[in-house]
Structure 1
Amino acid sequence: MSNAKQTKRVTPGSRETLLHMLEILPDAVFVVDDTETIVYANASAQTLTGTTREEVCGTSLWCSAPHLVSPSLYQAVHKAKQTREPTEVAYVSPATNRWLHVSLSSTDEGLALFFQEQLEPLPLQHALSQDEHMYRDLLEGFSDGVMIVTPDGLVLDINQRPLADAHLRREEVVGTPVTDLPAWSSDPVVQEHLSAAIARASRGETVLFEAKIHPRPDLSLDILMTITSHRDASQQVEYLICAGRDITERKHAEEELRVLIDAIPQLVWMARPDGSRDYCNRRWCDYTDMTSEQYQGDGWLQAIHPDDQQRVLEVWQHSVQTGRPYETELRLRQGTTGAYRWFLVRAMQHKDDQGTTLKWFGTCTDIDDQKQAEQRLKASEENWRVLAETVPQLVWTTRPDGRVDYCNQRFCEYMHAAFEQLQGYGWRQFLHPEDVERVVALRHHTLETGEPFESEHRFRNGRTGAYHWFLARGMPVRNEAGQIVKWFGTCTDIDDQKRIEEALRQSQKRIRALIDSNIIGIVSVEGEEDVLVEANNAYLHMTGYTQEDVRSRTLNVERTTPSEQAHLFHHALQELAARGQHTPFETELVCKDGSRLPVLVGGVIFQECPRQIIGFVLDNSARKELEQRKDDFISMASHELRSPLTAMKLQTTLLHRQLAKQGIPASAPALSSMETQINKVSRLVEELLDVSKIQAGRLEYRQETVDLDALLWEIADTMQQTHPSYRILVHGAVRASLMADRDRLGQVFTNLLSNAVKYSPDAQTVEMDLSTSQETVTIRVHDHGLGIPREQREKIFDRFYRATGPSQKAIPGLGMGLYIVAEIVKHHGGTIMVESTVGKGSTFTVTIPRNRDS
């Protein structure tokens, strides 16, 4: 036997029986399908609704029986459809004010509803009675219009406020789509806005919006509509609660406010509680070139710079959600030009007495000039930071109270410390202990007075522990009100400078000691007229002038210099201008009594404008007197030796002839050697006489035509015969005749070839190169001998100077030959130079002009 439950078939006969039974029931019975459309209503249901079966069947339950509709019934139907289980609900009919007990059960057709009408609730439903009365009292107690609607927008319940405004009864409204009510259907735009809001609320959103409605033709209201959803136990939206607050008076006030706002020279706007814009003043529209329709909702974002839109929207939504004041900086496009300018945007909420947000009021302030200035300042600061990190100084900034708030990397590296160790007053730990008190006191003074800060002090190197001197400088930066907002400063390493200054002080002490020592005369000469402005006692003593003469500024170089020696001082001034100092030279000074004092003069230039020269004057009279005596002795000795030598040469010649006649040839070599020595002494005497004449300016010269090639070949042949162990080689030719003294030129090249042989003891060749140009002839004498050290080359043309060295000391001579050579070449307008390498030989180059004034 099967345990399966047997399904009873509904036959035509049983169906008629069932319908008959339903017709005679005292309860009103409705059967609705899944769309909540009535498919059956018994006689009691028709009596309860006051309609016929034809009028009620095929219509929505909520539209056909408005006096039965309530949120409680809607919830029960919603629950029964979901669970398919029997459900009961009891509530007060808003139309009859009688209790209705409804039983709901699932059927093959859909859902069966059994209505029982009672005057009072059953005892078990007393609690429900209290809740129902509370619900009705609460609904009617709202000053706002309140409607309970389905997620599809059908009205389930409504309080008296909107009914009174529209002059409607509840039965005319319940079960009707809220968008079809006269208040909303009179304006298609408002009707569409409400439909969109219901759709959003049906998805669980809370929607706020403002709308202008017309409950009846002679009444226009501005309302603030709030739509919230009610969810069942499974979190499904059961129905919506629509609350409309009359804000007509507020809107009138806002209109008046808008007229005022349109006159404000700022960009002003207002937004709804949900954040959508609903008003911008005329100035905003003129600037953006947008109409009221374009900026509505989120349309205002189109005027924002694309790079700012996302950020601005996020900040705005955050403020709307949290209720916090809105503030941001953004770029707005100027509608006619397309240019963007920076604006500061601020907005605040306007709330009612209950704290509900009614409006957002905002302004846009043009800050483009300020932003441009900030950007320039930022760029300047960035450039300054880059510069601060590249300059060799230690760079720092402080706050107005003197606390360090920035140090460049070089500062940190020198101190070998992190910035955190230096900020504030941390840098003081690196000051030299002896400098701390002075530096801190000076810094406090500059902070109080606002004067620039400057100090020299020592900082400890963090790595080595050594102290270096630094020059610290700081300047205050002030705002437009003159207040100090920052200090900028640098520390420059002046340790080397301090050492130099100390060395200079020591040098000045030594110079002062030299000046005061009366060993050397020192004068200071200034200006283009070279006036003596200072002189030490040594100078005054040797010249006879006084300090009064110096202070009178009547002494100058021209007055104290012999006119014939002015060219020496002129040359010295040119050398000073070129080199900063001049080569010391011998001259004379005109003393106060008119006498002349031989001196050695040197000088250095201290500054260019005005020109200041320091001159050093050494009394040269004793040396001059000694030289004069020496020259006089040489001249006298030369003359005195010349006569005995002449006699000796004559006697030697006679002796040679007598011995030859007597046939005694064996004595000839000794006699010949004697003649050679006499000739050497004669040449020395002749040279001494030439030197003496040169010193006295009495050396005589002849003017004659000289065939230079013939002269040079003649000298070379003579030297070759005199020194047969050497090869005298001549290269080239000059092919020129000169107006010169032939004997003196012969003396020059004889001397040069003789020196070349004498200073080349280990060589076998001496060379002479001849060349010519249109203006000059050049003769080079080159040997492969000992060579001359660099430091002695400029001195070998001095009188009685001989190069020193182990090899040169063994070579005889008095150091007169090259002196005489240089003087003869100079007299002929030529020059003589030497090039030499020690151990490799020397080359003497003589250059003589081909044509010169005699």
Structure 2
Amino acid sequence: MLDATRLYADASHFKLEDICGKHILDTFANNPEKTDEHGKQNVMASLRFVLANKKPHMMPIVRYDVPLEQGGFERRYWRTSHTPILDPAGNLVYILQEARDVTALVLQEQLNEQNRERLSLLTNTLHAVTWDYDIENNRMSWGVNLQEAFGYSPEEMGQPNTGNTGWLSRVHPDDAAAALESLRQAAEAGHKYWSCEYRFRKANGTYAYVLDQGYFVYNDNNKPVRQVGAMIDLTESKQSEKTLKETNERFWHLLEKQPYMSFMADAKGRITYFNDNWYEYTGISKGQVDGWINAVHPEDSAHVLTAWNEATRYGHAFEQEYRIRNHVDGQYRLFLDRSVPMYDEEGKVKFWIGTMTDIEDQREALTQVQLKEQQFANILNLLPAHLCLLMGPTHTCRYVTPGIYSMYGNRHYLGKPASEIWPETQPIHFTEVFDKVYQQQEPVSFKEVLVPITPSYSGPQKNAYFNIQFQPLLDPNRHIEGVLLSAVEVTALVECKQKAASSGVPD
């Protein structure tokens, strides 16, 4: 190296006296963290080309790190050219080396490449379509997913601002102005990123909901010269969002229109919603959710709150009957409150939903039925006849009057066949009689039949006389269902007859 400019020396962090007179390869500082052998080979190859051909040669960009005063090295990239200097006779005298520091350019390109790789990875994952708009030359480049996503080839998409073939012509007319305005505002404000949602017409004529995102590249004058981005098809998610919205609307409609009072609560049990039926019944101001317990009967409120707090604490279903005041007449009516927790994807309680059903009339009706059943049982207790209802061909016991219990004890009658309940009646062939009545559907009667009675299976046995009738029980279609046995004890009458006969007294 014969000489160098001050700019060369400063850029390389050399002193001129240290490099002049040395072989050019000896001027390269040795960076132990990175070998420069490849760069040195390129330098020598370029110099040999100039020597042999006496023509300029441009080297590929090479990395050559320069030493720092405080120690260590600074990464640098260089674009180097070698130009022959000839004398008048055409002989090579010198070779002029020009080295341009292009570190900033290379690092920016590496960053752009990383961004492109990340964008490519992201778009492939999301099935998005990448695009690259050269603003200065009005040129648009499209990614490989364009055909798959929207049905267009890059040629069919055309270039921006080319009438009916460009990107803008395919944006929904109702969305085009807003999309353009958002682009303009982002560029004028010097924003780095831009994002917009709009509808984009696909090749099949349908519109896709897309999320279009990009970033601007500005020149030294802060003027946008390039824009790179990607279009993501949101149609499926938009449809899911629409479906979810419609489902929520139907859910709230059902809560409002159902004939009973309903409510919702958060995961901790705090009431967040009552439907209109609650407010109409209680007279509480619409929208008010606090103080609901004041509508509950004072005798029930403590128990209700305790049970509700326990249910919401442990996440189990809540079911309670309690009285709620009707603001119209001031009377309390009985309600059945059923509430269940709703869970999220992780199995945690997300919220509660419950209903309050007026069961006052139902409870009153049940009370009346129970009263009538008790009256009927009292009547049966007073009747001299014992009744037993046996169902089906196995003669399974469905019902017995209380008198049966007093004679045979608690044998767990219901659900058992007659032969298992009363084995002591086998000698008098009751089972055969049941079969005959069930099969022929004709009643059978016996008078003054001697029947063994055993209060327990192993206890002492006594005998009694009964007038017995086996009556077939038919359904509304005249099909046999079972047999109703009625028995009236006539032991006293038979014994009187026996005494009269033994004393010679005529009947």
TM-score (norm 1): 0.34
Deviation at 1:499, TM superposition (A): 1.8
Instruction: Report the AA paired with residue 468 of structure 1.
Output: R
User: In the alignment, is the contact (CA less than 8 A) between 1:602 and 1:615 conserved in 2?
Assistant: yes
**Where does 1:235-254 land on structure 2 (aligned, <5 Å)?**
252=109
Residue of structure 2 in register with 1:296 after alignment = 160
Deviation at 1:430, TM superposition (A): 1.9
- Deviation string 1:95-114 (CA, Å, 9 cap, x unpaired) is xxxxxxxxxxxxxxxxxxxx
Instruction: Report the AA paired with residue 143 of structure 2.
Output: R
**Where does 1:627-666 land on structure 2 (aligned, <5 Å)?**
none
- Deviation string 1:522-571 (CA, Å, 9 cap, x unpaired) is 43535542234664552466xx6565595842479995599599659975
Q: Distance in 2 between matches of 1:304 and 1:290?
A: 17
Change in CA separation of 1:549 and 1:503 when aligned onto 2, cut-off 3 Å: closer
Instruction: Report the AA paired with residue 592 of structure 1.
Output: V
Correspondence for 1:475 among 325, 340, 347: 340
Residue of structure 1 in register with 2:232 after alignment = 365
**2:480 aligned with 1:619, yes or no?**
no
Residue of structure 1 in register with 2:316 after alignment = 451
Residue of structure 2 in register with 1:742 after alignment = none
Correspondence for 2:242 among 363, 371, 375: 375
**2:458 aligned with 1:597, yes or no?**
no
Gaps of 5+ in 1: 1-246, 574-584, 626-854
User: In the alignment, is the contact (CA less than 8 A) between 2:393 and 2:438 conserved in 1?
Assistant: no
Q: Identity over aligned residues, as a percent? A: 20
Q: Distance in 2 between matches of 1:598 and 1:373?
A: 77
Pick the structure with greater CA Rg. 1
Correspondence for 1:384 among 231, 247, 251: 251
Change in CA separation of 1:285 and 1:519 when aligned onto 2, cut-off 3 Å: same
Residue of structure 2 in register with 1:501 after alignment = 366
Q: Distance in 1 between matches of 2:244 and 2:438?
A: 63
Aligned partner of residue 168 in structure 2, secondary structure: helix
Residue of structure 1 in register with 2:277 after alignment = 410
**2:322 aligned with 1:460, yes or no?**
no
Correspondence for 2:421 among 553, 560, 582: 553
User: In the alignment, is the contact (CA less than 8 A) between 1:268 and 1:363 conserved in 2?
Assistant: yes
Change in CA separation of 1:571 and 1:427 when aligned onto 2, cut-off 3 Å: farther
Determine which structure has greater relative contact order: mean sequence separation of CA pairs < 8 Å that are 6+ residues apart, divided by chain length. Answer: 2
- Deviation string 1:258-301 (CA, Å, 9 cap, x unpaired) is 75345641333467899x99655414643342648735369433
Correspondence for 2:268 among 379, 401, 425: 401
Computed over aligned residues only, the root mean square deviation of the Cα atoms, in angstroms, reads 5.1
Deviation at 1:497, TM superposition (A): 1.8
Query: Matched residue pairs, number?
Result: 357
Q: Distance in 2 between matches of 1:605 and 1:354?
A: 103
**Where does 1:400-439 land on structure 2 (aligned, <5 Å)?**
400-421=267-288, 423=289, 425-439=290-304
Residue of structure 2 in register with 1:178 after alignment = none
Change in CA separation of 1:560 and 1:533 when aligned onto 2, cut-off 3 Å: farther
User: In the alignment, is the contact (CA less than 8 A) between 1:262 and 1:283 conserved in 2?
Assistant: no
- Deviation string 1:785-823 (CA, Å, 9 cap, x unpaired) is xxxxxxxxxxxxxxxxxxxxxxxxxxxxxxxxxxxxxxx
- Deviation string 1:645-701 (CA, Å, 9 cap, x unpaired) is xxxxxxxxxxxxxxxxxxxxxxxxxxxxxxxxxxxxxxxxxxxxxxxxxxxxxxxxx
User: In the alignment, is the contact (CA less than 8 A) between 1:559 and 1:590 conserved in 2?
Assistant: no
Q: Distance in 2 between matches of 1:460 and 1:300?
A: 65
**2:129 aligned with 1:267, yes or no?**
yes
Instruction: Report the AA paired with residue 619 of structure 1.
Output: V
**Where does 1:452-851 land on structure 2 (aligned, <5 Å)?**
452-510=317-375, 513=378, 521-532=386-397, 535-536=400-401, 538-539=403-404, 547=410, 552-554=420-422, 560=430, 563=433, 590-593=449-452, 597-598=466-467, 617=486, 619=488
Change in CA separation of 1:352 and 1:617 when aligned onto 2, cut-off 3 Å: farther
Aligned partner of residue 481 in structure 1, secondary structure: coil
Gaps of 5+ in 2: 1-103, 453-462, 495-507
Deviation at 1:602, TM superposition (A): 9.1
